[in-house]
Structure 1
Amino acid sequence: MKLSVSLGLWQDRPPEEALETARAAEAAGYPELWIGEMATWDAFALGTAIGAATSRIALTFGPLAVTVRDPATIAMGVASVAALTGRATGVALGTSSDVVVRGWHGRSRSRAATALAESAIAVRQLVSGSKSTVDGSVVGSQGYRLRLAAPNSPLTIAAFGPRALEVAARYADRMVVNLVSPAAAASLVRGLRAAAARAGTTPPPVAAWVVGAADPGQAELEQLRRGVVGYLAAPGYADMFHAEGFGELVDFARTRPHPRELLAAVPVEAIAAVGLLGAPSEIAAKAREYAEAGVDELAIVPATSDEDPGGAKTLAAVAAELA
């Protein structure tokens, strides 16, 4: 199975730790680093810094929210990092959440799946060096061509719901799913294959972002438990956690308790359901479950702490066990 690394961008850790994770990923032999965009770094600025701090690891940006960033700025950003660092670059597109799109950026998520499809077409045109021709009903780009060298970046689509699966089947070089159990991943893989059959396309390979912690200490477990709190009552994710045997926890989350109360109720087993956690043998066994579900690539999101800054221990252990 292919392996890659995704930055956790953990809110309880120093922002600069992202550079440590990047260096640790390269040192452990991972070929690709995903650079998301949440509350801290501009993804392209961070990617440029990572390019200066490492020597060879490929950089994939996103998933970037298509109703926040338009195709031209996405293509310019990817091409800029490729030109400044000399690295192979990829780009991932997604629809993000109401909190990010409506709350932080003041944009609408209306017709997000349409925006995803239109952005995919326009971004692919631009990163291949073509002039953009998309006059979309939600987003688009017309008449622009990169002045920098075309990075020819592969396109990844983040998918969870049925409409995003249709977009991935039609336009993606790769699909990515986030924080899913092997059973949920298998359902999404089946959905992608069905969508590809309807579209008359070949289904792209599937990557899964999975949290990881090798022989975790209390700090790493606390970080990972905090990381799932926001998903427990979210549409789709709530059903997944319920199916994994955490129905009472989901019901409690749906009452909207104080985050501290909900965090205290999250068991370690809920993290283990959606990630690689524990001893090397446990990590290997869980990776096999994802492979059997049809996942082609695991993008490891390493837990970090003062005892394991940057997640270097976890990344080395996972690479040694699964590479």
Structure 2
Amino acid sequence: MKLGLALGYWGSRPPDNLLETVTAAEDLGFDSVWTAEAYGSDALTPLAWIGSHTSKIKLGTSVIQLSARTPAAAAMAAMTLDHLSGGRVVLGIGASGPQVVEGWYGEPYPKPLARTREYVEILRSAIAREVLTYDGKHYQLPLQGGAGLGKALRSTLHPIRTDMPIMLAAEGPKNVAMSAEIADGWIPLFYSPTDDQHYRDSLAEGFARPGARRTAADFEVPCMVSVHIQDDVEAAADNIRPHLALYVGGMGARGVNFHYDVIARMGFEAECAKIQDLYLAGHKKEAIAAVPLAMVEKIALVGPRAKIKDELPRWQDSLITTMMVRGDSPDTLRTMAELLG
């Protein structure tokens, strides 16, 4: 299992120790660094800056949102950054959810699976420097209607790689299966190595489809795993609880929250319902306090070094090919490099 650094997206400002953390990851032999976006900082600008301060580490997006850019715009950004970094880009994409897509981008959110499939097909064509013509239900190139002057074009930029790795973020079984069918990897969120049979089944279904791009042997599964090392296990878990409460309770409407569904499937149906009720009622502190330690330990590594060392084998035996460490300091990265070295 390879190691990656998960930076996520920024809060109200960039993290103070960003360069120190990235430099430490590259010096420790981490394979990749990953950024994200929601409705604040974007994923690609920090990667360009990180790429200018590094030389070997792969630059991944986990993830960029489909509605933030047209497929051609995403291809332009990826090819440009690939040139600037010497071919280090790994493009992770995801559909996000209706609250962000319709509320932030002002775009509709129908049929995310079909849109994702079309998006990836156009993205691959653009990166391969093919003339872009596409007649889909969600995308048409050239545009039908409009001024009637659209012209089928190909990129003026010659890519370093015409077959850049593309990975899909997915949580539901149909999306996971499609990842195995059309992508080079799957990026899970809130993954538990002890509750993953449904993911294995979905991936197997995708690999078995006619024309599947990869097999289980060469398919990548990078996954963010929060790591907090300290003797007090509950105090370490307190670093994860606000994030879980936000995603289970408020990152999606009631009945349309994919993150809620993932955690509930792990055996926390009652706990998720309570967290969501509290969060949506405006009781955020109580929602955070309602996140049990067992829920945190399903998807994160918290506690003293010896405890984390004992728990690592279940991750090494899992579907994960890259553990994207979300840690609070370069010391955490060094510890993980030692434990998995």
Give TM-score, length-normalised by structure 2: 0.82
Cα distance in 1 between the residues matched to 2:20 and 2:73:
27
Of the three residues 315, 323, 337, the one matched with 1:290 is: 315
* DSSP-derived class of the 1:182 partner: coil
Query: Displacement of 1:51 after TM fit?
Result: 1.3
Query: Displacement of 1:173 after TM fit?
Result: 0.9
- 5+ residue gaps in structure 1? 305-310
User: How do 1:17-36 and structure 2 match up within 5 A?
Assistant: 17-36=17-36
Does the aligned pair in 2 maintain the 1:5–1:25 contact within 8 Å? yes
User: How do 1:222-237 and structure 2 match up within 5 A?
Assistant: 222-233=238-249, 235=257, 237=259
Of the three residues 156, 177, 194, the one matched with 1:147 is: 156
Higher gyration radius (CA): 2
Q: 1:9 to 1:276 in 2, by over 3 A?
A: same
Does the aligned pair in 2 maintain the 1:169–1:195 contact within 8 Å? yes
Q: 1:320 to 1:95 in 2, by over 3 A?
A: same
**Pair 1:178 & 2:189 matched:** yes
Cα distance in 1 between the residues matched to 2:140 and 2:313:
40
Does the aligned pair in 1 maintain the 2:195–2:266 contact within 8 Å? no
Of the three residues 172, 180, 183, the one matched with 1:169 is: 180
Does the aligned pair in 2 maintain the 1:91–1:156 contact within 8 Å? yes
Aligned length: 316
* DSSP-derived class of the 1:253 partner: helix
Query: Displacement of 1:33 after TM fit?
Result: 1.0
User: How do 1:1-323 and structure 2 match up within 5 A?
Assistant: 1-9=1-9, 11=11, 14-15=14-15, 17-139=17-139, 141=141, 143-152=152-161, 153-199=164-210, 201=212, 202-203=215-216, 204-215=219-230, 221-233=237-249, 235=257, 237-242=259-264, 244=266, 246-255=268-277, 256-257=280-281, 258-302=283-327, 304=328, 311-323=329-341
| Partner deviation per Cα, 1:199-250 (whole Å, 9 max, x = no partner) | 3532433222221223377886443211111232564543543454544422
Query: Displacement of 1:96 after TM fit?
Result: 0.9
Cα distance in 2 between the residues matched to 1:219 and 1:101:
35
Cα distance in 1 between the residues matched to 2:13 and 2:331:
16
Does the aligned pair in 1 maintain the 2:229–2:236 contact within 8 Å? no
- 5+ residue gaps in structure 2? 143-151
Q: Which has the higher contact order (CA 8 A, sep 6+)?
A: 1
Cα distance in 2 between the residues matched to 1:293 and 1:186:
10
Question: What's the Cα RMSD here?
Answer: 2.6
Query: Displacement of 1:137 after TM fit?
Result: 1.2
Does the aligned pair in 2 maintain the 1:157–1:176 contact within 8 Å? yes
| Residue identity in the other structure for 2:247 | Y
